[in-house]
A and B are shown apart, each in its own frame.
Chain A
Amino acid sequence: MEQLTTIGLNHYLTISAFLLGFGLFAVMTRKNAIVVLMGVELILNAANINFLAFSKYNGGMEGVMFALFVIVIAAAEAAIALAIVINIYKIFKSVDVSSIDSLKE
């Protein structure tokens, strides 16, 4: 019972593993490009939780630093991704990843 009531490292790791799973599920099953990118955000945030939890229980500052940079990179990635997706929408009138396949032989 004590395992469940006191929050320890394992709780964080479990949540992050679930987030990774959800993210991968979204990436693999969803057709909408925006939702796929949301899945990627989930994966990145799963890594962030890992970094922060390990940093808290290892006592080092590197994990916090890493998580900050991952957040910044995720923001930059969202900016570029949305620009590309908007451009795709202008051309194909759709953001459905599976319907955009002019590049098949």
Chain B
Amino acid sequence: MFELPSGAEIQSIIASLQASVGFFIPEIYLSLLFMLLIVIDLVAKGRKNNLLAITTLVGLAGSFFFIYQQHALPAGEFFFGMYVLDEFALFFKYFFVLSGMLAVVITMADEQFDSEVKSIGEYYALIVAMVIGMIMMACSSDLLMIFLSMELVSFTAYILTGYFKRNARSSEAALKYLVYGAVSSGLMVYGFSLIYGLTAQTNLIKISAELATHGYDPLVMIFSTLLVLAGFGYKIGAVPFHFWSPDVYEGAPTPITAYLSVASKAAGFALLMRFYYIAVPHDGHAYEDILGIDWLSLLILLSVASMIYGNVVALWQKNVKRLLAYSSIAHAGYLLLGIIVMDELGTQATLFYLLSYFLMNFGAFYVVILIANKTGSENLDDYRGLGKSMPLAGAALTVFLISLVGLPPTLGFIGKLMIFSALLAKGSLYMWLALIGIMTSVISLYYYMLIPLNMYLRESRHHEEKQLSPGMPAQIFMAVLMILTIYFGLFFAPLSDFAKYSSAMFGLTLH
């Protein structure tokens, strides 16, 4: 049935592969770093030395050089349409490498690692592997590549979540993450198989062309879109695919919680945008014969449900990590608003919001770790009086939380402002969505402000006013994050310009 390729064909395939490698250098570099870290771990045993962490930090920082060089390359597909390079992909490359570095910094500060594990082992190597996987997620332009990169990220995330293997909560979180993840990725692959059946293509751009020229069965299309959405929705943690997230966020080691809630979510959004903007038809009238539902209305449903559910359920949370987990569900809803807008302004707003979420969420988790180092607890009640005993940590956490609510003068305010103004720029059509967004932000004010309330206005139970200092490097790092959150809230032009520059997606036929 299939003939063997001739010699000339093989030569041309090899030549094409060789040409493609030039576009793949950051990923190759990061893979080498991954292997190097495993070797270093084997050679230099021992928990206490920070050799591995420093190597990871320096190595990840080194990849900026290679990513920066890619700005000179033309946007396009390579590796036979498997992989794509464009400004949108570059944005996420920077984003994931930076979040990997922050995850390493936060891990170095977390003292729970000293008591829970004998040796840090492959931990840092897995973080690098996850960076590679997420970069591939943002760059893949083929259903096969999407599936493989998503599984690479998921598998490393399962292991990292259960990294405290003698800790019951961490292991349980890993099991829950695994079960939900396996089911949703299975459903996603089934959806892919239906799309392959409809179009006989796996490349996103070719799928789009095929659907446009030959038409499709709307029922099959909406069914496969729904199945694919199960996979993506799980990655971004949106309702109703969110069941794993509170348990996983609470049980996982806190640096991994921060890493998952920012980077893995952003990778899901990158995929979601690329898949729905490029592959699936979006002229609006395509599905009208099936109850008037298309993928856009599905996303609107997801977004509204996430904003309401995340913000309302967070009101009852007593554990700060769990509270931030519900808040991250709500933020997935806000980010989806930017995707629903479906134009350049919306993409820019989503990317900008991701940047602001990156800074404030990592900051908040960093402070939570520093506080847990001193008090050994993540419960809201144990935050009483911390404003006096840890003044800088209290101030920093308050700034991050104000930013998460979306109040000026912080970065989070600008992020929400951009999302809502992108919605309103579409006309009155999405006015009600913006209203729901604003109303739920008001609800979120209550539970976010519970934390500063406990820290500043309620007395500590212990009645001992001793100063708890998290150490000089941690103080400086915390202060830098705090100042950046406020600084970019006032002078946001560079970030928003960068987001605008990055909103160019290869093969986009949207406008």
User: Could you say which of A53, A77, A84, A100 contacts B151, with CB atoms under 8 Å apart?
Assistant: A77
Tell me the interface secondary structure of chain B in the complex: helix
Asked if A92 contacts B168 (CB within 8 A), the reply is yes
Q: A105-B319, A105-B322 are in contact. Are A84 and B174 (CB under 8 A)?
A: yes
A residues 11-27 touching B (CB-CB < 8 Å) = 13, 16, 20, 23, 27
Asked if B190 contacts A43 (CB within 8 A), the reply is yes
Q: How far is the CB of A51 from chain B (nearest CB, A)?
A: 5
Is A58 on the interface with B (CB-CB < 8 A)? Answer: yes
Q: How far is the CB of B141 from chain A (nearest CB, A)?
A: 14
**What residue of chain B has the Cβ atom nearest to residue A17's Cβ?**
B190
Asked if B178 contacts A81 (CB within 8 A), the reply is yes
Is A80 on the interface with B (CB-CB < 8 A)? Answer: yes
Asked if B319 contacts A100 (CB within 8 A), the reply is no
**What residue of chain A has the Cβ atom nearest to residue B203's Cβ?**
A62
Is B193 on the interface with A (CB-CB < 8 A)? Answer: yes
Q: A62-B202, A81-B178, A103-B172 are in contact. Are A47 and B193 (CB under 8 A)?
A: yes
A69 to B348, CA, bound (A): 34
B residues 159-178 touching A (CB-CB < 8 Å) = 159, 162, 165-166, 168-169, 171-176, 178
Contacts of A69 in B (CB 8 A): 144, 147-148
A83 to B143, CA, bound (A): 28
Asked if B247 contacts A103 (CB within 8 A), the reply is yes
Contacts of B240 in A (CB 8 A): none
Name the residue among B2, B194, B196, B201 with the largest chain A CB count within 10 angstroms: B196
User: Could you say which of A51, A63, A85 contacts B175, with CB atoms under 8 Å apart?
Assistant: A85
Asked if B182 contacts A100 (CB within 8 A), the reply is no
Interface string of B128-162 (1 = CB under 8 A from A): 00000000000000011001100100010011001
Q: A43-B186, A105-B317 are in contact. Are A76 and B151 (CB under 8 A)?
A: yes
Asked if A54 contacts B197 (CB within 8 A), the reply is yes
Q: How far is the CB of A97 from chain B (nearest CB, A)?
A: 7
Contacts of A60 in B (CB 8 A): 200-201
**What residue of chain A has the Cβ atom nearest to residue B154's Cβ?**
A77
**What residue of chain A has the Cβ atom nearest to residue B165's Cβ?**
A87
**What residue of chain B has the Cβ atom nearest to residue A27's Cβ?**
B183
User: Could you say which of A44, A46, A84, A100 contacts B162, with CB atoms under 8 Å apart?
Assistant: A84
A59 to B159, CA, bound (A): 39
Q: How far is the CB of A10 from chain B (nearest CB, A)?
A: 12
Interface string of A59-95 (1 = CB under 8 A from B): 1111101100110010011001100110110011000
A70 to B193, CA, bound (A): 11
Contacts of B183 in A (CB 8 A): 27, 39-40, 43
Asked if A62 contacts B196 (CB within 8 A), the reply is yes
Asked if B172 contacts A54 (CB within 8 A), the reply is no
Asked if A33 contacts B179 (CB within 8 A), the reply is yes
Asked if A102 contacts B193 (CB within 8 A), the reply is no
Q: How far is the CB of A46 from chain B (nearest CB, A)?
A: 6
A92 to B17, CA, bound (A): 50
Contacts of A44 in B (CB 8 A): 186, 189
Asked if A47 contacts B190 (CB within 8 A), the reply is yes
Contacts of A105 in B (CB 8 A): 316-319, 322
A11 to B276, CA, bound (A): 31
Sample (15) of A-B pairs whose CB atoms are under 8 Å apart = A16-B193, A37-B179, A47-B190, A58-B197, A60-B201, A63-B196, A69-B147, A77-B155, A77-B182, A91-B166, A92-B168, A97-B175, A101-B172, A103-B172, A103-B246
Counting from the closest, the 4 A-B pairs by CB-CB distance are A43-B186, A50-B193, A58-B200, A54-B197
Binding site for A on B (CB under 8 A): 2, 143-144, 147-148, 151, 155, 158-159, 162, 165-166, 168-169, 171-176, 178-179, 182-183, 186-187, 189-190, 192-194, 196-197, 200-202, 246-247, 250-251, 316-319, 322
